[in-house]
Every structure is written in C-alpha cells, then in structure tokens.
Amino acid sequence: MSVRTEDRDGVLVITINRPQARNAVNAEVAQGIAAAVRRLDSEGSLAVGVLTGAGGNFSAGMDLKAFLAGESPSVPGNGFGGLTEATVRKPLVAAVDGWALGGGFELALSCDLIVAAEDARFGLPEVSRGLVAGAGGVIRLPQRLPHHLAMELLLTGDPLPAGRAAEFGLVNRIVPSGQSTVDAAIELAQRVRRNAPLALAAVKQIVRASQGVDDATAFTAQRELTASLASSEDVREGARAFAEKRTPVWKGR
C-alpha cells in the first residue's frame, strides 16, 4: 500500500509509503492522499491530519518514471499528490524528515503547519529540469518567505536547510536528530485539537478568502463565514466551560 493511514487519538497520520523511491508521487500515492484527506474531513472523530513519509524522507516529488509511463500524479479537483489544490477543512501538519523536494516540498506547503527534523532539506529544483514548480511552489513560497529568498530558491533550485527555514517562519518546530517528527507533529496536532472544530475550519476558510484581497473584501468574507459560527452550540459550550472553569466538550455543531 503506497499510502498508509492510522488514527492516533483523533489525529489521522497519513504516511506516503514508497521508501524505495524516496516516497516519489505516482498515481497510487496521489489517489491515496486524496482518499485520506476525504476521510479526515468526513469522519467526526478525526480533528487534525499529519502528513509524513516512510523510511527517512518526506517525498522526492513527482515519480518521473511513472510520469513517463503515462501515470498522472494529480487528482482532478485536488491537484498534485491529491492535495496541492484541495480545500481541506481540517488542519494538516507536515512531518518532514530528510528531503522534501519539488512536489514533495509543495505537499508540505499545502499543509497548515510544518514540523521538520533538524537535518531536513526543502527544495524546488524544477528549473534545473526545464520546468517550474507548478503545484503551488511558485505561488506559495513567495507568500511564506521574504521575496528575495523565495526567488533565490525558485531561480537556483538550491535546497533550504530546515534550520534556516525555521528562522524565516516556514517551519513551526525543529526536531533534534534521532527524535520522531511524527510524534512531535502529533503533539502539535493535539494542541490544535483542543480547540473548537468549527472555529478551526472557519480560521482556514477566512485565511483562504482573505489572501490577495483588500481589507474591506476580507472583512466582508469573514462576516459571512462567521455568522453561523456565532450561533453554534460550540460557542455556547466554550462560554459555559470558561465560566465553569472546565475543559470544553466540543460537538462540532
């Protein structure tokens, strides 16, 4: 199975399982990731997803051999790897070991949070192959890094060490060598999971709706997206739990 899933106490761990190919993305991987994020969004017991790779690497990107054989590494509506153009309602954390190259880096950029091993490397080498990082790299990287650093990576194809990525806020947590990035990602995911699921989904929607628009448009979108949130059971539960000095019990409605 090229993509494994495991429910870790409400956190769905999604593992690209092609270590012999450095977890390169072929059609089976793309379909597997797409199915996993559909499961994440559809099952009420799941709150957060963690995307990782088996065998010491996150992903080397597109499987060129599979591509030349006629396989598509994309899923209609979801984009490359079944993820880069998908609208995933629940939060996603990337747990990155080793290399996240090309489409692998773009998969990580599609996640909301990134946890990386201290020796992890990120890179978009597409220009060295006559291509561009068209699965979100050219679009998202300049939004996440200072302009000139993003352009250096895009124009040279040189890799970015995890430590430097963390300095610029691209990585949320650095995990020391020998420790599990998945465990650290699950710990962060569980911190996110304490919060109200409708509110988490609303945050993601508002962030998406406000990108590239003026403040007035962004506030209009926010009002529309939060109108139903204000009357939800979870909002009342949050207020009661605060007043009663207890942990909220979220219902997602």
Residues known to be catalytic: 106, 126
CA–CA gap between residue 197 and residue 233 (Å, rounded): 12
DSSP state of 112: S
DSSP 8-state code for residue 62: B
150/21 Cα distance (integer angstroms): 27
Give backbone dihedrals phi and psi of 3, rounded to 5 degrees, phi first.
-135, 120
Tokens found for residue 236: 């009342």
Nearest to 117 by CA among 59, 65, 175, 50: 175
Which structure tokens are listed for 155?
A: 């124009």
Return the exposure string of 165-178: e unless at least 16 CB atoms fall within 10 Å of the residue's CB, then b: bbeeebbbbbbeee
- Determine how many CB atoms are found less than 10 A away from the CB of residue 72: 14
